Amino acid sequence: MRPEASRLFASMRFLIPRNNFWLKRLCVLFAFILMDYGVTLALCKTPAEEGNLFARSFMEVYGIPLGLTLFDFIANFPIYMLLCLNSRFINLPPRLSRIAESLVDLTFAWFIAGLHFNGAASWFWFVPDVLRQASGAFLYLLIILIVSLKKP
């Protein structure tokens, strides 16, 4: 194998989380993100219907499918990279790790899963935003609890 190719493959290992804990969280988070993406793509007929101003501007410039895809990729790629790098470089003691993981889960539940659930459900569930976001956060925490309790 050529040296350039081996260096490329060696650097690509940072694109996959090192342990199962972070991989499970990434899968659950991206399920919420993909749900928001799919519902918006299916139900959005004009960019003016999109509530997120940044997504709307991408949709106005590039069209609905490409604009939404670009926006979601640009907005969520840093989250993915942060989790992948975090899984490789941060090793905390077990007691501190449990506290940090709980704080990370609460943050992800409200600001990522809850926000995307709110965005997806806003197309068909007409309740206040806070209720939709809290429902998404609760659903994320419930899924993570079930996945975490399951022994591999």
pLDDT digits (tens, 9 = 90+) for 81-111: 877 776 666 677 778 877 877 888 898 899 8
Greater confidence (17 vs 106) lies with 106
Residue 120 lies in a domain: yes
Residue 2 lies in a domain: no
- Domain tally for the chain? 1
Q: In this structure, are residues 55 and 68 in contact, taking their beta carbons and an 8 Å threshold?
A: yes
Residue 5 lies in a domain: no
- Helices 20-43/94-108 angle, 10° precision: 0
Structural domain for 47, as ranges: 17-149
Residue 7 lies in a domain: no
Predicted confidence at residue 151, as pLDDT, reads 59
| Burial (0-12, 13-18, 19+ Cβ within 10 Å), 104 | middle
Greater confidence (91 vs 60) lies with 60
Residue 77 lies in a domain: yes
Using alpha carbons, select from 85, 150, 75, 145 the residue that is nearest to residue 109: 145
In the numeric block, which tokens belong to residue 49? Answer: 């219907």
- pTM, full prediction: 0.81
Residue 10 lies in a domain: no
Residue 1 lies in a domain: no
How many CB atoms are closer than 10 A to CB 51? Answer: 12
Q: In this structure, are residues 115 and 129 in contact, taking their beta carbons and an 8 Å threshold?
A: no
* Distances in whole angstroms, Cα of residue 41 to Cα of each of 46, 48, 109, 149: 10, 13, 23, 34
